[in-house]
Structure 1
Amino acid sequence: MRCAVALPASLLLPGAGASPARVQLDFHSAFLMNMHHFLYNLGVHPELLEKTGWTATPTADEMATLRGAVAWYHDNYAKRDLLFDEQMTAIKTALSVADTRRDASGLALPPQLASTLNSVAPIYARCLWAQHDASNRQWIAEAKRLDERYGAEVQEGIARHLQTPFPSTPIRIDIVVETGKRQGGYTDTQTVIPGGRPSYQGLAALEMTYHEISHIASTEKLEEMIDARLKATHRSADSDLWHAVQFYTVGAVVKAVLKRRDGIDYEPYADKGGLFKGYWSPFAPIIASEWQPYMNGKQTFEQAVVRMVDRLPAA
């Protein structure tokens, strides 16, 4: 998901011949953040409330409270985008507190939202949180294991191909069971990942962690050069080419690292999900013929961008 904020001032810039300092991944399984996304997801999909697999069954009164909260989220937030809506960003920021905190009071939230969260908190804590927290922690443990073994090479490869370093300041990554967002994870200067989705589990946890955090700074040069060439050639400025290239690059780097280190045949997220066979199908041959040769050292970054953009339909 595209980042819509200013870049951090501090980036990982290694000296000549030096390995970059490791990006710091600050994983969280936070009660309030998870409850908010749980309710947002139900606000978008109210029918899922009755299908929830509770750890402990809510009482009739508790279900009435939950239905009221879901209806309120549906009316107030379901049509708001978690990434691009300023109010949703402010809510996420306000909820970025200690993982164990369960009281939404005093967090610069809209009063009715704080009241709604506080009304649901004891129900969520009793009936579902243990299950969600365990799922999140299992995902985090696997992501950390994968990052410890492969992360340095993945980070280096992405930074080298996109010619932009990662931030040197810690990146907060909140793991929730579901975001409620069709695309799944999202990132501004902070990342939220739906660890409960099968498509984000296993080896994909490594790819999607690095895919998301690369939205913070790593695509900046790519986006700027694509946008400049689109403007220079009078093409539509709304092209999603940069995002397709980002998906391809991160997936290709992870695939290569897993194969080189342990002989693992990995299918990248975009390939497994058919992203290049649907909306992005026009980009597939362009990336294969122009960007992949750049990644193989056959042409420059600048040449690849120019040639990719020039193959897009004219406005």
Structure 2
Amino acid sequence: MQRASFEYHSAFLMNLHHFLLDVSVSNKSLQELPWDNKPAEAEFAILKDAVDFYLADYAKRDPLFDATMQGIKRGLSVDDQRRDATGLAIPAPLIAVLNRVAPVYARCIWASQNKSNQDWIKQTKQLDASYGKEIQARIEKYMVHAFPVKPIRSDIVVLTGTRQGAYTDEQIIMPSGRPDYQGLAALEMLYHEASHTTVTDTLVAAINDRMKAAHRQGESDLWHVLQFYTVGKVTQDVLKQSANLDYQPYALKNGLYQKAWPEYLDLIDQVWEPYLEGQLNFKDAITQAVDQMPAEKK
């Protein structure tokens, strides 16, 4: 097994973009933010103009699925120290906004935001070094798919401007500033997000094939439910068996199944947990899971 590797970044421009996105989406008061150095009146005016710019457009878009937001993320994936957006492959009006607000962000809050990111990276690297190899091996076993060979770019920002927190395509955007992403949960969420790259491909394909064979149509959250449960259970088991650490998986601790997927709880207990315990093979588990899953979303 080749170890998954993570290319961590606390990049100034990527963080500035997500700072403005989060403030605009969450409708936070600029005056009440935890500034390192409180902005002067003229600086608050610059910040307000930048937030208004985001409110008019980017705050209405999905950072993960919207093509414009995907392009901005790729365009901002540059050297961590870069503070001038001139010449980047992002919209020209955004370049102007970022360049105008960058000195204010740098003076007033970047130091503490960068520290938050660096602290998160440090603790997560240590956890990964201790437990990541076994967590990866078990996820690959249950998902029947390997992690990417090349390093996964992982951009750490304080907040992502999304309700769910982290988001991932081939690149991870991870929040260092959320309490629910700290401590041992950081390790689970690192591998949860990493498994969004390609690791769930076999799972998704198997579910789709069974749905087609069973003449079931529509979209299903089944793959995401099983991914969440698998990564959480693997992390819990590895921490207990390797270091006698008690850990409650993220989705259980935060009531995610009850809030978003209560209709899948019986399926997890009756099908997927037996699969993880070796009582079912992958094909049979997928067949039973699809056959027992609730009605598709229309």
Quickly say closer, same or farther: Cα 1:24–1:314, change in 2 above 3 A. closer
Look up the match of 1:12: none
Look up the match of 2:173: 192
Look up the match of 1:78: 59
Secondary structure in structure 2 of the residue aligned to 1:218: coil
| Residue 108 in structure 1 maps to residue 89 in structure 2 | yes
Q: Pick from 233, 253, 260 the counterpart of residue 279 of structure 1.
A: 260
| Residue 69 in structure 1 maps to residue 69 in structure 2 | no
**8 Å CA contact retained: 1:24, 1:169:** yes
Q: What letter matches 1:208 in structure 2? A: M
1:288 deviates by 1.4
Q: Pick from 152, 157, 160 the counterpart of residue 179 of structure 1.
A: 160
CA distance in 1: counterparts of 2:29 and 2:141, whole angstroms:
43
1:28 deviates by 0.7
| Residue 215 in structure 1 maps to residue 196 in structure 2 | yes
1:138 deviates by 0.3
CA distance in 2: counterparts of 1:212 and 1:196, whole angstroms:
16
Secondary structure in structure 2 of the residue aligned to 1:284: helix
Deviation readout 1:88-126 (Å, 9 max, x if unpaired)? 000000000010000011001111000000011000000
CA distance in 1: counterparts of 2:221 and 2:89, whole angstroms:
35
Tell me: higher relative CO, structure 1 or 2? Use CA pairs within 8 A at least 6 residues apart.
Answer: 1
CA distance in 2: counterparts of 1:314 and 1:177, whole angstroms:
37
Secondary structure in structure 1 of the residue aligned to 2:59: coil
**8 Å CA contact retained: 1:185, 1:193:** yes
| Residue 131 in structure 1 maps to residue 118 in structure 2 | no
Q: What letter matches 1:200 in structure 2? A: Y
Q: Pick from 288, 292, 300 the counterpart of residue 281 of structure 2.
A: 300
Look up the match of 2:148: 167
Secondary structure in structure 2 of the residue aligned to 1:278: helix
1:227 deviates by 1.4
Taking the TM superposition and a 5 Å limit, the aligned residue runs for 1:23-38 are 23-38=4-19
Quickly say closer, same or farther: Cα 1:171–1:314, change in 2 above 3 A. closer
CA distance in 2: counterparts of 1:35 and 1:269, whole angstroms:
28
**8 Å CA contact retained: 1:132, 1:177:** yes
**8 Å CA contact retained: 1:46, 1:70:** no
**8 Å CA contact retained: 2:263, 2:294:** no
Q: What letter matches 2:2 in structure 1? A: A
Aligned Cα root-mean-square deviation (Å): 1.0
**8 Å CA contact retained: 1:235, 1:313:** no
Look up the match of 1:201: 182
Q: Pick from 39, 59, 65 the counterpart of residue 58 of structure 1.
A: 39
1:131 deviates by 0.4
Secondary structure in structure 2 of the residue aligned to 1:249: helix
Quickly say closer, same or farther: Cα 1:277–1:314, change in 2 above 3 A. closer
Secondary structure in structure 1 of the residue aligned to 2:174: strand
Deviation readout 1:54-93 (Å, 9 max, x if unpaired)? 0001010000010010011010111100000011000000
CA distance in 2: counterparts of 1:105 and 1:171, whole angstroms:
26
More helix per residue: 1 or 2? 2
Q: TM-score, normalised by structure 1?
A: 0.92
Secondary structure in structure 2 of the residue aligned to 1:26: strand
1:314 deviates by 4.8
CA distance in 2: counterparts of 1:90 and 1:149, whole angstroms:
35
| Residue 241 in structure 1 maps to residue 219 in structure 2 | no
Secondary structure in structure 2 of the residue aligned to 1:47: coil
Q: TM-score, normalised by structure 2?
A: 0.97
| Residue 254 in structure 1 maps to residue 274 in structure 2 | no
Q: What letter matches 2:21 in structure 1? A: Y
Question: How high is the sequence identity, in percent, across the aligned residues?
Answer: 50
Q: Pick from 12, 23, 26 the counterpart of residue 45 of structure 1.
A: 26
Number of equivalences: 296
Taking the TM superposition and a 5 Å limit, the aligned residue runs for 1:7-22 are 20-22=1-3
**8 Å CA contact retained: 1:227, 1:237:** no
Q: What letter matches 1:24 in structure 2? A: S
**Is the deviation greater in 208-217 or in 272-281?**
272-281
Deviation readout 1:144-196 (Å, 9 max, x if unpaired)? 00000000000001001100000010100000000011111011110000110
